[in-house]
Structure 1
C-alpha cells in the first residue's frame, strides 16, 4: 500500500516552561481535528501534532503538501539555544516553499528578538489580548483558522505579490448571508458591517451584494456557487421561498453552509433540507453583538476550512488508490437523500464521504435509495482494489471477529510529538471503524482507571451508533478483569456497567497458595507476585478467546505485572500464533516490541533498564525463585527480546505484507493506520 500523506499537517510548538502551552495545543487539536471533550463528535480531521521539550522532535515536511507550524514564543524559548537552532533549521527548510508556513505567536514584547529568521515574519501579538485564557484561545483560533483557510484556498498575502512577478491574487470567497427580512435582517446587516469594518476577514470573505439591474434569481444562483452560505434561521425563515431556494442551491453546488439558530418562538414546519449541517445557537438577549458575531465568524471559518480540507483530502486519497470515483461521487459532508438525488446518473458504485463512518440507522435509509451504491470513508478506500465483485464494504465484513484492544498511556510520549489525547483519539477512531465493520471488542484491565477518558462511556456510545443487530453493548464488548481489581467493583458499579460490557472476572491461578487479601501492597514482593500471576492469568484467558490483538502505546515502567502489560499480551499472542497488529508511532511498549522484532534489541526491554527500579529488581528475584519452585517461566528480558526477534515480521500473521507492516509500525497518519489494519483484518477474515 502506498504511503498516505495529508493536504495539511498542523504542528503546535511550545517551550515546556509555558505552563498554558498544553491548553493552547489541546484547543487547536479539538478545533482542527476532533473535540477531545466530545470524542464521538465529527471534526475537521486535520492532523495536529505537538512539539515541546528542551529538544523537540524533528518535523518531516514531506509528510504533507502543506504544513502550518504554530510557534508559541515565550521568554524561555527565546533564551534556549536548542530552540533557536531548531527554529532556524525549520525556517531554512520552508523559506523557499510557500506551502509550509511558520505562524509565530508573541506571548511578550520580547518575542520579536527571537532568532534572525523569525524576526522577518509578522507575529500574532497575543500579549495585547488582555482577556482570560479562553478569550485568548478563541482569538488565536480565529486568526490561525483564517490563515489556514488562506493557505488551502490559495489566497495570497500582499507581500507575496512582488514587483518582479505581477500577478493578481485570487478573489475573496463570498459570504452569502441568507435571511428572512421580517426577523433576520438586523442580524444579517450587523454581521455584514462587522465583517467589513471590525475584522481582518474582509480579505478572505466578501459580503455578498447583488448588483442593481441584474436578474435576481440568476445573480443568487451564480453567487451561491462560489460562496459560503450563512443562513440566519429565524422563525420566518423556512416559510420564505427564496430562503428555501438558497439552502437547496447551496446543497446542490456542494457549498459550505452554517446555520445560525435564531429561534424566538419556533416554526410551524421545519424545512427538511436544513439538516446535516453545521448548526450554532445564538441568543440576542443574553449575548453581546460582538460575542455573537465572533461566534458566527469563528464557526464559519471552521466550516469553510473543514469543507476545503475534506475536499482536498478525499480527492487525494481517491487519486492515490486509483479508485476512479468521479468528482460528483466525492462528498464534503455525510450523504443524505437530497445529495443522492443529484447522483441519479452517477455510474461508479462507490460514494466517498468524510470520516467518521455513519451509523447503521442512517446507512440503512440512504441505501434504500440505491442498493448497489456503497458509501465509504477515506480509510476504506484502499480496500476497494482488494475486493471481489460480490463484496460490499457497507456490510459487516468483520462480523464474527473479536479484536483484543491493547492500548494504554505512554511515559515520555511528548518526545515522539504526541500527548495522551492522541492515543485517546486513536482509540476512538479504531473503535468506531471496528464496530462499523461488525467486529466485537475485548479489553483487559479496569475500564474505570482514567477519570479523564471514560473508556466505558465511549464504547457504550459507539456501540449504540453502530448497532444494526440491536444488541446490548454488553454483547459487543468483553472486559476481562483480574484479581484483585474485580473485588473493588461495588454492587452499584456492577449494576451501572451491566449494559455496557460483559465482565469476565478472572481469579488467581489454582496453584497459588496462601490467603488473598482485597488490598495488595505494592512494596510487598509476595503481594506483587500475586498481582503478576493474576494479571498473567487474565491475559491468558483473554488470549484464548480473542481472534486478533491490536497493540498501541503501553507503559514500560510502573506496571504491576511480570512484564509490561502490552509486552506480555503480544508475547502470549505470538506464542499461540494469534494475528497481531503493532503501531509504534506513539512509543511505549508497542515501539519496544517493534524494535525487538526488527533489530533484536531495544533499550527499555533490557535488564539494565528494568532493574534500575530497586523495588522491581527485588520483585524479580522473588518472582524467579517462586517460578523455579513452581516450574514456571522466569522473567528474562534477553530471552524475551530474542523471542520477538526470532519470530520476526512474518509471525505477526496479520494479513499484511512485510512492507505494509513496516509502514504500520511507524506511520503517524491515523487514516493510514486504520486502513492497513482493516486491510489485514479483511484478508484474515476472508
Structure 2
C-alpha cells in the first residue's frame, strides 16, 4: 500500500536565530505525539530548513514546486513555518542575498493549492519596515504568544492547517467546537458540576481562534440536533465536559451518540467532584483529559489542544482513505470502531451491498484489544458475517504485506 506523505511541515529559520531551533523541536515533538501516530506510514513529518545547503547560502530547497529527486514525492499538504528574528531580517535585507530569494519563493508557494505559510515572529521584534515584512507581511502570522507556550503553538498551527485543508475542500473554514455539558436542575447538581466549568471553557474558546457552538445558545427551537451535528462533522469537534451527572443525562448521551455516528472528533474532559453514580458506554472510547477543578485553566487548555489535534488527525485520515480505499476496504472510520458506530454501519452495508461476504475494515492505530475485538466480531456475527471479518490498522495491514487476502 505505498501511501504518499499526507502532511509535511517545514520549519525555516536562520541558523543564528536560537528561537528557530526551539520552535522546530516543539513542532517535531507535537506532530510525533500519540494523536498522530495512528495514521498510515509517515503521514506527518516535520523538517528543519536552517543550515546552508551550500556555503554561505540558504537551506536545502523545500521540494514542493520541484521534487528533490526521484522517489521523493511531494506531500499532499505542506505547511511552511518561517521563524522571523533579527538574523533572518539581516540575511534577507537585500534583494541579491540568497535568503531574500529563498523567502520570496516561500511567499510564491503560499499561492499554490495544498500549501500554507504560517510565519512566527519573535516576541518584541519590530519588523514592520523590514524587507522580510515586504515579502511575508501580507501573510497572517501565528499569535506572538506561541513563542511562550508550546501547547498553544501546536494548537494554533494544527488549527490553521485543518482550516486550510477544509477551505480547499469547500468546507466551512473555521473550526467549530461543540461544547456538550449538563444544565443544572438544582443547587445540589450545580455543586456536582464543578466550579462553573462551562463558563471557563467558553472563556477559553472566546480567547482563541476557535469558533464555539453552545447548544443552549445556537440551536434554534425545534432544530434537529443530530442533523446539525452530522452536517457540521467535517469542520467541527465535540468537547464533553464530563461532570458527575453528565453521563446519566439523556440529552448529553444523545449529543455524544450523534457526534460519534457522524464521525466527528470527540474529546472527554473529566471534571468530576465526587464521582459518577454510573457511567455510560456511549461516553468512552475517546481521548480524555483530566481537569483539576482547583485550577482548571491548564486542563481546559489541554482539552482544547487535544480536540484540535483530533480534528486535524480526522482530516488527514480522510485524505489517506482516498489511497486506502483502493485496496478494497469496506469501511475506513477515522476512530476505532465500537458498538455505537459499527452497528449502524453494518445495517447500512447490508442494505447497499447485500451480497458482500467478507468485511474489510481499517482504522487508525492502535489496534483493538482482544476483548474489544471479540465484541465487535460477535456483533458482525449477529448481522450475518460470522466467518470473514478483518479489522485492521495501518500497522497490522502493513505486517500482512499491505494487501488484502481473500
| TM range, smaller chain | 0.7 to 0.9
Shift of 1:85: 2.8
Check the 8 A contact 1:224/1:250 in 2, yes or no. yes
Check the 8 A contact 1:259/1:280 in 2, yes or no. yes
- State the match for 1:352 in structure 2: 362
Please give the alpha-carbon distance, in whole angstroms, between the structure 2 residues aligned to 1:100 and 1:15. 21
Please give the alpha-carbon distance, in whole angstroms, between the structure 2 residues aligned to 1:206 and 1:240. 19
Q: Secondary structure at the match of 2:272?
A: coil
Shift of 1:279: 0.6
- State the match for 2:353 in structure 1: none
Deviations 1:323-358 (A, max 9, x none): 2334xx111112223322223243452101013444
TM-score normalised by structure 2 residue count = 0.76
Structure 1 residue 101 and structure 2 residue 103: aligned? no
Please give the alpha-carbon distance, in whole angstroms, between the structure 2 residues aligned to 1:52 and 1:78. 14
**1:190-269 correspondence to structure 2 within 5 Å:** 190-196=200-206, 198-202=207-211, 205-208=212-215, 209-214=217-222, 219-225=224-230, 226=232, 227-269=236-278
Please give the alpha-carbon distance, in whole angstroms, between the structure 2 residues aligned to 1:388 and 1:296. 40
Structure 1 324/387 Cα, relative in aligned 2: closer, same or farther at 3 Å? closer
**1:577-656 correspondence to structure 2 within 5 Å:** none
Deviations 1:627-653 (A, max 9, x none): xxxxxxxxxxxxxxxxxxxxxxxxxxx
- State the match for 2:335 in structure 1: 333
Of 139, 149, 152 in structure 2, the residue corresponding to residue 121 of structure 1 is 139
Q: Secondary structure at the match of 1:228?
A: strand
- State the match for 1:50 in structure 2: 48
Shift of 1:359: 5.0
Check the 8 A contact 1:155/1:172 in 2, yes or no. no
Please give the alpha-carbon distance, in whole angstroms, between the structure 1 residues aligned to 2:336 and 2:243. 25
Gaps of 5+ in 1: 157-167, 390-686
Check the 8 A contact 2:263/2:334 in 1, yes or no. yes
Check the 8 A contact 2:17/2:86 in 1, yes or no. no
**1:140-155 correspondence to structure 2 within 5 Å:** 140-154=153-167
Check the 8 A contact 1:75/1:110 in 2, yes or no. no
Of 324, 329, 339 in structure 2, the residue corresponding to residue 318 of structure 1 is 324
TM-score normalised by structure 1 residue count = 0.47
Check the 8 A contact 1:15/1:54 in 2, yes or no. no
Check the 8 A contact 1:54/1:83 in 2, yes or no. no
Shift of 1:75: 1.5
- State the match for 1:305 in structure 2: 312
Structure 1 residue 187 and structure 2 residue 197: aligned? yes
Check the 8 A contact 2:181/2:241 in 1, yes or no. yes
Check the 8 A contact 1:180/1:236 in 2, yes or no. yes
Of 41, 64, 69 in structure 1, the residue corresponding to residue 75 of structure 2 is 64
Check the 8 A contact 2:166/2:173 in 1, yes or no. no
Check the 8 A contact 2:327/2:403 in 1, yes or no. no
Check the 8 A contact 1:8/1:67 in 2, yes or no. yes
Check the 8 A contact 1:318/1:381 in 2, yes or no. no
Shift of 1:193: 4.8
Structure 1 207/99 Cα, relative in aligned 2: closer, same or farther at 3 Å? farther
Of 284, 298, 301 in structure 2, the residue corresponding to residue 294 of structure 1 is 301
Shift of 1:114: 4.6
Please give the alpha-carbon distance, in whole angstroms, between the structure 2 residues aligned to 1:34 and 1:308. 16
Shift of 1:76: 1.7
Structure 1 residue 85 and structure 2 residue 101: aligned? yes
Q: Secondary structure at the match of 1:251?
A: helix
Shift of 1:151: 1.0
Shift of 1:238: 1.3
Q: Secondary structure at the match of 2:277?
A: coil
**1:143-542 correspondence to structure 2 within 5 Å:** 143-154=156-167, 170=172, 172-182=174-184, 183=190, 184=193, 186-196=196-206, 198-202=207-211, 205-208=212-215, 209-214=217-222, 219-225=224-230, 226=232, 227-288=236-297, 291-313=298-320, 315-319=321-325, 322-326=326-330, 329-345=331-347, 346=349, 347=356, 349-360=359-370, 362-370=372-380, 371-378=387-394, 386=403, 388-389=405-406
Gaps of 5+ in 2: 54-58, 65-72, 92-96, 185-189, 350-355, 381-386
Deviations 1:425-444 (A, max 9, x none): xxxxxxxxxxxxxxxxxxxx
Check the 8 A contact 1:8/1:66 in 2, yes or no. yes
Structure 1 308/286 Cα, relative in aligned 2: closer, same or farther at 3 Å? same
Structure 1 331/213 Cα, relative in aligned 2: closer, same or farther at 3 Å? closer
Please give the alpha-carbon distance, in whole angstroms, between the structure 2 residues aligned to 1:234 and 1:385. 43
Please give the alpha-carbon distance, in whole angstroms, between the structure 1 residues aligned to 2:107 and 2:346. 50
Shift of 1:103: 1.1
Deviations 1:229-255 (A, max 9, x none): 111110111121111122222112221
Structure 1 5/169 Cα, relative in aligned 2: closer, same or farther at 3 Å? closer
Check the 8 A contact 1:210/1:220 in 2, yes or no. no
Please give the alpha-carbon distance, in whole angstroms, between the structure 1 residues aligned to 2:342 and 2:171. 35
Deviations 1:540-588 (A, max 9, x none): xxxxxxxxxxxxxxxxxxxxxxxxxxxxxxxxxxxxxxxxxxxxxxxxx
Structure 1 299/385 Cα, relative in aligned 2: closer, same or farther at 3 Å? closer
Shift of 1:301: 1.4
Q: Secondary structure at the match of 1:341?
A: helix
Deviations 1:454-478 (A, max 9, x none): xxxxxxxxxxxxxxxxxxxxxxxxx
- State the match for 2:22 in structure 1: 23
Q: Secondary structure at the match of 2:157?
A: helix
- State the match for 1:10 in structure 2: 9
Deviations 1:443-502 (A, max 9, x none): xxxxxxxxxxxxxxxxxxxxxxxxxxxxxxxxxxxxxxxxxxxxxxxxxxxxxxxxxxxx
